[in-house]
Every structure is written in structure tokens, then in C-alpha cells.
Amino acid sequence: MKHFRITIGVLIFCFVLGNAQTQWVRYSGNLVFRANASFYEARGIGSPSLLVSGDTLHLFYAAGGADTRGRILYAYSLDGVQWHRFNNGKPVLDVGEPGQWDSHFLDTPDIIRDDQGFKLYYFGDTDNDPVGGAIGVAQSADGIHWQRVGSEPVLTPGEAGEWDGLFIESPAVIYARNQYWMLYSGVDTTWQVRIGLATSADGIHWQKYPGNPVIDVGAPIDWNGFGVATPTLWYGEGQWLAWYCGVSVRDWLDNSQIDTIYIGFSHSTNGLEWIPFDGNPVFGTYFPLYSPEEIRGPWAPDVVYLPQRNLYVMMYETAHGFGIAYSTNNALPSPNREESRLHLSPNPATRWITLNAVPPGAEYRIFNIRGQLVAQGTVPPLGRVNISHLTPGIYWIVVDNNTGQFVKY
């Protein structure tokens, strides 16, 4: 996208402290979302921000148009693999009017739900110059129709010479302990990226934490020695949790490009002092199942939790589109050949059947009552298998020799 400009925004509805935040596996069906040839996505897409509502996964993302302007678009999915662009791929938040602070480029969206409906935080700028820009917010009652809050940004860069004096971006916002919390990326004149904190009583008027940055770069030889950026933030079980990207000095020096990206994890008991995970990084470019199509990823991850599957799903940006990784907190059972039943829901079903406690990427086969194979495929990230093409009747579904019976009506 524009420069070091992508976000992570997390809406997790349930949390189990354990390995779910530190052990990730790529989905074998990547990439699941790619830019199309439209005017609005002609220069690429980035910055995925997810929200789960009912049985639907909602995706807000930034897109670079043929006119070099950036806008916020929206798509939705029932399984995490097949995506539908809203309104034929037209923006849900367009650039501002001429003369406004966000009149040319929007990026790094982060959507949250609160008591007023929805808030969409984003980066905005008046040009494509790497320097400058700020963070604004729009509100919506339905998550589709958006209205900017005021005519000015809600958070601006620091003074010249400060750690975030060059530009800020990538807001990640939550509401916890009776106030809003924002982690964001800040850049100084050395072009090192760090992560700072701001708080707000209403989600609109923000105060920066005097002790910023709260997540700093590592030693020069470390995985995060060049910069840490694009944070995501969540609160639960009395702790704040953050995932963020890291880049090493060596990666930058070899060709002046960011080719190898890592994701780190940190937690805090007060939102101010952050403790990095001893095993960082928890995910990265050349982790298992990497393919050249995922070059310059995983960048800007966003995570949602699916309680019915005990599954954490991470979407992230690459040079060619969005990929998915998942984590199960070691809670999904290994196939037990003495246990012959899969947990399916709903049952009976009409269009979709959900395979609970089955990892994404597993192969499934569906047989009719005569034992004939009628469908097969790969379990998608949300575990929902489309059965709308089947005729009414009784069917068996097999995953690694475990079977489950369901009724299509």
C-alpha cells in the first residue's frame, strides 16, 4: 500500500490463554482473497480487518485505485474462502472532499463494534508522499453506510523529532475498562517504526500515553531490529494482548526492501507495560507451507476467534492478496479411529453443514445412502461445507476415516 501502511484490528469474542496466540498454521488453500481488475483495486489491496457476526465473516480492506487514490472496501463470506464484494466492489468509505485532510488516500482500516454501532478507524492523507497523514474515524449504525466524525483527524503525528513525528498509521482499537484503547504505528526521521498507545473516553477524543512507544524495536540483529508495526489489540481475562509485525535490519540491508516479515506477540496486565513472548516470532514469511505467492507476507494480520470451532483465524496481507492461518490452542482432537462420529451442525441442514473440531485444509468426502461419492473437497477456514447442490436425503461425511451423518432437507 502507500508505504509502511497496513493495519490489524481484532474482534475476538472469547479467549483462552494458552498457545492459540503463539502457534499458527497456514491454510493450505491460500490465497483466499485477491485483487480484481476493477478501477478501485487496480493497484492492489491490503490491510484486512475482520469482524464476525452470526454465521458471516465481514472483511474491510484498503484498495489502491487506478487514479492512485486509496479507499476502503467491504466483502463478506460464509466460509472464509468464497468472498462476495459489497455493491460490486465500490468503496464503503471514499476519499474526502478536496481540501480535506483525507482527500487523496485512505488506508489501514480497523473496524470495531460498540454501543453506538460501529466505528471504522483509518489512515488518511492529502497525497501519496510517504511523509504526513493522520488517523480518523467514521461511524455507522449498520456497518455499511458510514459518516465521518467531524472534519479533522482524531489522532495526528507528534512534533518534529518525536518518535512519531514523521507519520502515524495502523490504528488498532478496543473498548476495555470503561475506555477506548488504541495501539498505532509511529515513524520518526530515522524511518524506524514503533508502536504507541493512546486512550479515549469516547473513541473520538484521544490522548497519547506519555511513555510511548510501548512496543519498541529489538537489537539490530533481531527479527524486529528495524521496526515493529501494524499492531492488533485485544483485552480479555484481565490482560491486553497484541500481535504485530517485525522486520530485521538484515532484511532491509540486503536489497532495501522488506521481503521477510515476522509476527510477534506481547501481553500486558495494565495496557501500558508490554511483555514480549519468549518464543517470538510466532509466525513469518518462510514458516511452513510458504509459497512464492505469499511474498511480502504475512503483513497486517487480523485475528478472529470462532468459539463453536475453538479456532483462531488470522487473515494477513501478501503482495498478491490475503492469506489465512489458523490456531487451535491444541484443543482440536487428533482423529481417533475408535470414535466414528464427527460433530456436525446444524443437523438437519439445507445449504451448509459446519464441521466442528476439524482443522482447516483437511480433506472431506460425502457419500449418499447407497455409498456413492457425491462430493469432496477441502475444509474451509470457517468449517462450513456447501451442501446446497445435494438432493434431500441422508448422507455420510468422512474426514480422515472419522464419519458423521447428516440429513439434507
Per-residue cell: 237? 481475562
* pLDDT, mean of residues 355-359: 85
pLDDT > 90 fraction of the chain, expressed in percent and rounded: 66
* pLDDT, mean of residues 359-370: 87
**Topology agreement, domain 25-327 and domain 343-408:** no
CATH of domain 343-408: 2.60.40.10
Please state which of the ranges 268-282, 329-343, 378-392 shows the lowest mean pLDDT.
Answer: 329-343
Give the pLDDT confidence of 63-79 residue by residue, as tens digits: 999 999 999 999 999 99
Is there a cis peptide before residue 157, judged by omega within 30 degrees of 0? Answer: no
For the chain, what are the domain ranges?
25-327, 343-408
Give the pLDDT confidence of 107-141 residue by residue, as tens digits: 999 999 998 899 999 999 999 888 889 999 999 99
Assign 298 a pLDDT band (cuts: 50, 70, 90).
very high
Please state which of the ranges 185-189, 333-337, 377-381 shows the lowest mean pLDDT.
Answer: 333-337
The pLDDT score that the predictor gives to residue 343 is 84
> Does residue 282 contact residue 22 with C-beta atoms inside 8 Å?
yes
* pLDDT, mean of residues 354-362: 87
Higher per-residue pLDDT: 304 or 35: 35
Assign 235 a pLDDT band (cuts: 50, 70, 90).
confident
Please state which of the ranges 23-32, 257-266, 301-310 shows the lowest mean pLDDT.
Answer: 301-310
The pLDDT score that the predictor gives to residue 3 is 40
* pLDDT, mean of residues 80-85: 94
What pTM was estimated for this model as a whole?
Answer: 0.86
For residue 9, pLDDT beyond 80: no
Q: What is the rounded distance in angstroms from the CA atom of residue 166 to the CA atom of residue 163?
A: 8
Assign 20 a pLDDT band (cuts: 50, 70, 90).
low
The pLDDT score that the predictor gives to residue 370 is 76
Classify burial at 156, counting beta carbons within 10 Å of its beta carbon; exposed 0-12, middle 13-18, buried 19 or more.
Answer: middle
* Domain 25-327, CATH among 2.115.10.20, 2.170.190.11, 2.30.29.30, 3.20.20.10: 2.115.10.20
Q: What are phi and psi of 188, to 5 degrees?
A: -110, -175
Give the pLDDT confidence of 144-156 residue by residue, as tens digits: 999 999 999 999 9
* pLDDT, mean of residues 32-58: 94
The pLDDT score that the predictor gives to residue 12 is 30
